[in-house]
A and B are shown apart, each in its own frame.
Chain A
């Protein structure tokens, strides 16, 4: 399948990119990893007049721990998350997700920023970043701003990024001692989008879940948190009954669609089961009982 024709620019700096976007307006689309955009273009589901390729802007790709947060440049490839020691050591939920995004070849090109900016509820990073309570840094013609992850996803394939704004960095707060996180994804086969997936980041205080954030993948039109499940777990000991109740709450509050991946009742029940398993795994990590 062959894309329609387009004009192409490959700016070398962020300023150059911003200037291009300002000039071209909505005729232009950003090209990052291209692993979602190019397939769409090959089917002519997307036919932008102009592509602004960010891949030459090398200072947008980095993974570094800075004091109280992990900073990830938007053009960081998924593979880089798999191969950076600090991620495995201190942000295992992020590694969980990176390992299940598409396949290893796609992960050599696909970017963390692209995965978020596309705002596809089927993508894996949105739920993870919601669970981490990440911050997004964006640069626009008028300068930089920070967007709380809870404010990023506003519609199907729609973020709160302004026209001409580029997502440049993701900041994940460094988990405190006694924290743990996990991401479990059910997929029909390796490389597929999730039938359903759950991201949990929690902090234990003794045997109680002190705080918890839960993100859900592909069971709603917009990436969402399972707030009712969070409420059922926060301040509670993780007993079977409480986990089951939280699972049921998450199953009820999400809004999956029926498709080839599954019927609605199946997806809801997967959420219920995954909530329990993901919380348990996050707790095991919080207790240092598993990597």
Chain B
């Protein structure tokens, strides 16, 4: 029999077995395995927890290698300035300081002072001519101890000639001051992108009965995972081998990028992404600090550690959002939505370094027709440079779906209120109907499955919506302000099919490699990288479901590029849709081989066998069976002649489509007319992420995501002054909610499986961050609509509420 590698590694393009196309919606989590197997649907306690609860996690800053030294960074106090001189002599003369690396040094080392971004733009690693954002890395210092490095950066003297900062993206589009004079075209306008049909949409608007228009600004925010970014780079000069511990959500992709940029051979680079303290998209970009750390190790031939401070993290690392949106929504006489027009200015900062799939400079933003059936839509986005840090795609946004959903849910609410219709009924009237799936949206998406009515109905029942509306009227008559806000979002995750999705050219498949040992225990490795999502447990449950092997007997590993199969990492809620699918597919290959072994051992044809939880048994004679453990042992000791030994498989899964989780959230707020304070009285979240692997983990993802939706809705905003200096550069002013601000979320669910995913699952991590902010904003505006308040940008703070009330003549 052939023993080529390709026999064991298959690319998938056909629709896999599992789930039919017309998918009904249920409430019940499907559990088909006993608890000793602990397959899908079980509330399995997490396998990764024992080390975390005992303080034995291994995060990058926990890595200590012999002869390790420390890097710290000198950063720019100006948003835009020429660099006249860098004098590091005093720093270099300090005992314990080993080196200072500047842009000039990187240039000499092989033009390493610039690097490619994920959007095929370029970004300075270290500057030579000028700096283009406040807190930009200017040069790095390496010293024997962390504290000496911290002292040394104070001793580096940099002479700047300040230039006019470019802070307002609309002014930036006027090109009076150019941010990137390194570019051939002297303009701040980076790209223009469109989706939908302009002519058809114009026609719809011309014929519309009602049109509402609103300007919506989603300010810059920052993921602020509790662990900041960092790296330990360890170059072994003797072996020519670079070992890197890195806070990376995508270690393989990072390895390939490093190889391409540095010229180091890829097989001699090992990236280990150990335990990661939260990613949320902030650990996808390649930051200048990483490159400098690796170069430092290359030059010094010893391990170099760089761990950023929180201030550095907040001020220089990839931000999220910063979309200036003008939206128009059209409806006919019956109050049916007919069209959507959206213009958006994307403030990209000083480089287009958003972590998008390469063909999508505005990510998946064109999902913005949302859960609503409409005739036409036209979306345009323009990206512009400003003198601010680069980035844009982070903070659990699913590649700009947070922006898209916030816009459509605000617009739908504005339209409903303007027409005097109840916002829930208006949505129910306009939802895409279950029989319309798979649904082709006016901007070209094919939604796999959905049942928006069921989700909203469930949320309305859970919160007793009609009673709340009655209460609102009664309170309003007494001058009390109460608001109810709805958000019925459609998410789009699981990037993505190779036809359309790549990151710097690398297709966005993902992978699973499963190997079963003779004694029936298994090892499963993946190309994704959990930063808290629980893959060590959920992937084990998927494999357990397929093979009947207890999840406790399946060791899941991710993050070491030397051992894990190639994958594109974990972000944008893609792991379950891609690597989760690969897990099922690889397990099915193993099962197919196990069936052959079973037929051989039981001396029957394969067609005479049926699967029962964890065994193949002879149809009609269930006592004649072989368990998966017995089959694994046989794979090494008693397999048929001509068959390869072993019981393992690898799958690189190319998803046929994205998946479309959805949900309805309802938020109730009470406003204080005196202080403007907003109290969230209740928040019900009904989510549909298809088939559920571990309900407890899904709840955790939703609750965590809801708090990360609350945060931008009411607390978080990166604020720059007119000089481009970051005023919210520490947690003293960049406000993360505590357990007091975060409400007691109430969760519900519907289950509408994905018809194309092998286990019918969709992914869920970002749904709540997508759905929550508009529910909250809608509630607050709803409370004041009768006073003439139409819209408030997030974060909706007590001061904004107070100002709106006083403007409307309302006081305490």
Contact = CB atoms under 8 A, between A and B. Distances in A.
Direct A–B contact present (CB less than 8 angstroms): yes
B728 interface: yes
B151 A266 contact: no
A53 B812 CA distance: 48
Interface residues of A, number: 22
B385 interface: no
A266 B309 contact: no
B151 A4 contact: yes
B740 A190 contact: yes
A189 B737 contact: yes
Interface string B697-719: 00000000000000000010001
Given A188-B715, A189-B738, A260-B733, A1 B675 contact: no
A270 interface: yes
A5 B146 CA distance: 13
B154 A191 contact: no
B727 A260 contact: yes
B11 interface: no
Contacts of B150: 1-2
Contact of B799 (A2, A103, A263, A277): A263
B675 A262 contact: no
Interface string A1-26: 11011000000000000000000000
Contacts of A138: none
B154 A44 contact: yes
A266 B802 contact: yes
Contacts of B797: 188
B147 A2 contact: yes
Given A1-B311, A44-B154, A269 B802 contact: yes
Contact of B735 (A188, A273, A277): A188
A64 interface: no
Contacts of B740: 189-190
A277 B798 CA distance: 17
B622 interface: no
Interface in A83-108: 103
A44 B309 CA distance: 14
Interface string A178-199: 0000000010111110000000
B10 interface: no
Contact of A266 (B154, B311, B803): B803
Contacts of B715: 188-189
B312 to A, nearest CB: 9
Nearest to B802: A266
A103 B739 CA distance: 12
Interface string B655-676: 0000000000000000000111
B741 interface: yes
B738 A191 contact: yes
Given A2-B151, A260-B728, A273-B675, A189 B735 contact: yes
B677 interface: yes
A260 B719 contact: yes
Interface string B366-405: 0000000000000000000000000000000000000000
Nearest to A184: B675
Dominant SS among interface residues on chain B: loop
A232 to B, nearest CB: 18
A39 to B, nearest CB: 8
A103 B731 CA distance: 14
B311 to A, nearest CB: 7
Nearest to B674: A273
A190 B799 contact: no
Nearest to A267: B799
A103 B676 CA distance: 23
B675 A189 contact: no
Contacts of A276: 812
A99 to B, nearest CB: 12
Interface in B137-166: 146-147, 150-151, 154
Dominant SS among interface residues on chain A: loop
Interface string A212-239: 0000000000000000000000000000
A276 B673 CA distance: 14
B80 to A, nearest CB: 23
Nearest to B800: A266
Nearest to A193: B732
A186 B309 CA distance: 30
Of residues A4, A103, A190, A273, which shows the largest number of chain B Cβ atoms within 10 Å of its Cβ? A273
Nearest to B727: A260
A245 to B, nearest CB: 14
A276 B674 CA distance: 10
A83 B719 CA distance: 39
Nearest to A277: B674
Given A2-B150, A189-B715, A270 B309 contact: no
Contacts of B733: 260
A264 to B, nearest CB: 11
A260 B676 CA distance: 16
Given A1-B150, A2-B147, A260-B727, A192 B675 contact: no
Contacts of A263: 799
Contacts of A188: 715, 735, 797-798
A2 to B, nearest CB: 4
B741 A270 contact: no
Contacts of B738: 103, 189-191
B799 A262 contact: yes
Contact of A190 (B146, B154, B741, B798): B741
A72 to B, nearest CB: 27
A85 to B, nearest CB: 25
Interface string A152-192: 00000000000000000000000000000000001011111
B741 A189 contact: yes
Interface in A253-277: 260, 262-263, 266, 269-270, 273-274, 276-277
B203 to A, nearest CB: 45
Contacts of B802: 266, 269
Contacts of A270: 675
A2 B737 CA distance: 26
Interface in B729-754: 732-733, 735, 737-738, 740-741
Interface in A103-162: 103
Nearest to A192: B735
Nearest to A273: B674
A270 B151 CA distance: 43
A105 B598 CA distance: 61
A191 B677 CA distance: 16
A250 to B, nearest CB: 14
Contacts of B728: 260
A273 B675 CA distance: 7
A189 B738 CA distance: 8
Contacts of A192: 732, 735
A276 B738 CA distance: 29
Contacts of A262: 799
Nearest to B311: A1
A122 B350 CA distance: 36
A269 B812 CA distance: 10
Contacts of B311: 1
A270 B735 CA distance: 20
A269 B798 CA distance: 12
Nearest to B735: A189
A118 to B, nearest CB: 15
Given A189-B737, A266-B799, 5 more contacts: A1-B150, A2-B151, A186-B677, A266-B802, A276-B812
Interface of B: 146-147, 150-151, 154, 309, 311, 674-677, 715, 719, 727-728, 732-733, 735, 737-738, 740-741, 797-799, 802-803, 806, 812
18 contacts: A1-B311, A2-B147, A2-B150, A2-B151, A5-B151, A186-B798, A188-B715, A189-B715, A189-B737, A189-B738, A190-B740, A191-B738, A260-B728, A266-B676, A266-B802, A273-B675, A274-B675, A277-B674
Closest 4 CB pairs of A and B: A2-B150, A273-B674, A190-B740, A266-B799
